[in-house]
A and B are shown apart, each in its own frame.
Chain A
Amino acid sequence: MNIKSQKDFFSGLMFMCVGVAFAWGASSYNIGNGARMGPGYFPLVLGVLLSVLGVVITFKALVVETVDGDKIGSFTWKPLVFIIAANLVFGAAIGGLPSIGLPPMGLIVGIVALTFISSNAGDEFNFKEVSILAFILAVMSYAAFILLLKLQFPVWPAFLTA
């Protein structure tokens, strides 16, 4: 059997899996009945509903003809990895990672790291340009978020301020 719409086929599968997972999880809580619903009642109903929708979508993807097969296309890993990584490194810089003994490095270090890592996601990477961008962003963020909005951030590395 041919897959007529790749996008629909896989999104259907995704809905099915998530639906089943939620329904299965819900069944471990008290279900109750209509008049006295337990914590599992509503999620169970929704989980089953989502799985059914997933089945219908997958079925349609196998039957209904589309023009070009609705290809998903290849995953572009480069932007995906660099954007997510930039975000995670920024988080680590702000909060530190106690599990590996990394102290909080603060906002400024975080901004510089985020800018450099995320800039790798694009087509070109120019060290000088990115440095300037990081500098501007750091100054602007400091002025806007710390001075003006007075948000509670560790600004500098913990070992310098402590």
Chain B
Amino acid sequence: MELFDNLALGFGVAFTLQNLMYAFIGCLLGTLIGVLPGIGPLATIAMLLPATYALPPVAALIMLAGIYYGAQYGGSTTAILVNLPGESSSVVTVIDGYQMARQGRAGPALAAAGLGSFFAGCVGTLILAAFAAPLTELAFKFGPAEYFSLMILGLVGAVVLASGSLIKAIAMIVLGLLLGMVGTDVNSGVARFSLDIAELTDGIGFIVIAMGVFGYGEIISNLSKHESEREVFVANVTGLWPTKEDFRNMIPAVLRGTILGSLLGILPGGGAVMAAFAAYTLEKKTKLRPGEVPFGKGNIRGVAAPESANNAGAQTSFIPLLTLGIPPNAVMALMVGAMTIHNIQPGPQVMTSNPELFWGLIASMWIGNLMLIILNLPLIGMWIKLLSVPYRWLYPSIVLFCAIGVYSTNNTTFDIWMVGIFGFIGYIFIKLGTEPAPLLLGFILGPMMEEYLRRALLLSRGDWSVFVTRPLSASLLAAAVVLLAVVLMPSVKSKREEAFVED
């Protein structure tokens, strides 16, 4: 079997002592930082990215994958223990997880999240290994028109998932696309919108926007609430392990979550958030056993299903990245950045030109998952202590880490001035109720979209119909239209608003 040969090659690469160590360090750092409230995988990777510059490419990507999983699991820990979703995909975990923690059942909740994630991660890895090759075949059929349409689909996906007003989310995407235009145009060499500032001819740094808008913006808005509103709740964690009854409820939920998560993760723009949300909705639809706690009151299925789904989704969301070179979400976009720094152009050619990197990364994802469970189950007690750090000590530290992270990416103070500006902008966004996540996705895809649009229209001699006459491109656009139509349907619309009320 080719699949097993490939996996064997991958494990051969990943199972060196050095790489195992990087996977472990990555997981540890990721969990440690991800467990801080308000810092999700995105900020964690952004912060730790410079630390991987000096490593060899395989080790660097292995460490980043570890950081990603660590941060994601850390986010769930915060969600369960203190009712704070550290990242968007753990928003639904909060609902039942926190209720469990309040009843002193934080242990089983954390264990359910960990075990579910591990199982989902194993399945996700297999799916990734099995379907990466056929999907790559498909990728070679992609011309500029198809890529452009795929990005439209991805952006529509981002809109669907955004909470709040649809049209504002669309506007934020367009704003992001425009911010992506700043800098030197690759075709003509014209410095666009650089305001005659030399540093701006290189464009605005992604980390600058991410840190400013997410990090500083969030802190400022948090501080403007009164202390009692953001009070952190630390419960006694009694008993780590779920009971037999818990396991019986958990297992089918984990299976359902894994299947849903794996499917949704492949879609561009979908990824972990949609997976978690869909899995929770599905669990709510299935019948309660006699004597089971209702949802919203601390049902263990409400933790296990979305956590498995989001981990499976996180795994399979590597597929579009590794095979098509298209980042399905902002975290993956950072991975693209990391790859480019190491002179790897993500895309279908990675698999053939760097097989050991490709399969090594896949194997290391599984290792990352394993590390997570080894690391986290015994350390749950420690995470709780970290969370009892008062916010008045926490936020200066976060500001510091953001500033250091931003400065160290380019070793220029210009980026620090910029992050200050974007911190202000981020606060305005929060005040105006506009969501920054779509903006970030637009910002990443902006330059790529322009490039593919240019090429597609150049090949078709300016004929716009190329996007609908090529079958692949047409079906992608059709999918985008259907997705948009589904969201705009009144019944779904009200459901969606209801579901995101927590946000």
Contacts of B181 in A (CB 8 A): 22, 42-43, 46
Cα–Cα, bound, A123→B450 (Å):
47
Contact B219 A83 (CB under 8 A): yes
Cα–Cα, bound, A70→B165 (Å):
12
Q: A46 contacts which of B178, B423, B461 (Cβ < 8 Å)?
A: B178
Contact A75 B399 (CB under 8 A): no
Q: How many chain A residues touch the partner (CB < 8 A)?
A: 71
- Which residue of B is nearest A23, CB measured? B178
Contacts of A50 in B (CB 8 A): 171, 174-175, 178
Cα–Cα, bound, A78→B416 (Å):
20
Q: How many chain B residues touch the partner (CB < 8 A)?
A: 65
Cα–Cα, bound, A129→B171 (Å):
44
Q: A118 contacts which of B54, B396, B412 (Cβ < 8 Å)?
A: B396
Cα–Cα, bound, A137→B463 (Å):
59
B190 at the interface (CB under 8 A from A): yes
A109 at the interface (CB under 8 A from B): no
Contact A87 B174 (CB under 8 A): no
Quote the shortest CB–CB distance from A162 to chain B (angstroms).
Answer: 19
Cα–Cα, bound, A33→B403 (Å):
43
Chain B positions 448 through 489: 1 when the CB is less than 8 Å from some CB of chain A, otherwise 0? 011001100110111110000000000000000000000000
Quote the shortest CB–CB distance from A70 to chain B (angstroms).
Answer: 7
- Which residue of A is nearest B190, CB measured? A39
A122 at the interface (CB under 8 A from B): yes
B502 at the interface (CB under 8 A from A): no
Given contacts A57-B171, A79-B223, A111-B400, contact A70 B192 (CB under 8 A): no
Given contacts A8-B165, A29-B192, contact A91 B433 (CB under 8 A): no
Given contacts A43-B178, A122-B395, contact A141 B433 (CB under 8 A): no
Contact A47 B399 (CB under 8 A): no
Quote the shortest CB–CB distance from A28 to chain B (angstroms).
Answer: 10
Contact B165 A114 (CB under 8 A): no
Cα–Cα, bound, A130→B351 (Å):
51
Contacts of B427 in A (CB 8 A): 80
Contact A92 B167 (CB under 8 A): no
Contacts of A30 in B (CB 8 A): 188, 190
Given contacts A91-B407, A94-B413, A114-B396, contact A79 B219 (CB under 8 A): yes
Interface residues of A in 90-120 (CB under 8 A from B): 90-92, 94-95, 110-111, 114-115, 118-119
Given contacts A10-B432, A53-B174, contact A87 B219 (CB under 8 A): no
Cα–Cα, bound, A60→B450 (Å):
30
- Which residue of A is nearest B427, CB measured? A80
A147 at the interface (CB under 8 A from B): no
Contact B457 A46 (CB under 8 A): no
Contact B395 A145 (CB under 8 A): no
- The 9 tightest CB contacts between A and B, nearest first, are A35-B462, A91-B416, A95-B413, A76-B224, A34-B462, A79-B223, A39-B185, A11-B432, A53-B171
> Chain A residues in contact with chain B, CB under 8 A?
7-8, 10-11, 14-15, 18-19, 22, 25-26, 29-30, 33-40, 42-43, 46-47, 49-50, 53-54, 56-57, 60, 70, 72-73, 75-76, 78-80, 83-84, 86-88, 90-92, 94-95, 110-111, 114-115, 118-119, 121-124, 129-130, 133, 137, 141, 145, 149-153
Known contacts A15-B175, A19-B178; 13 additional CB pairs below 8 A are A14-B428, A30-B188, A38-B188, A46-B174, A72-B431, A76-B223, A83-B423, A86-B396, A91-B407, A92-B413, A95-B413, A122-B392, A129-B393
Q: Can you list 21 contacts pairing A with B, beta carbon distance less than 8 Å?
A: A8-B168, A22-B181, A35-B460, A36-B458, A42-B450, A42-B453, A46-B181, A47-B178, A54-B171, A57-B167, A79-B220, A83-B223, A87-B423, A91-B403, A94-B413, A95-B413, A114-B396, A118-B399, A121-B395, A137-B396, A151-B50
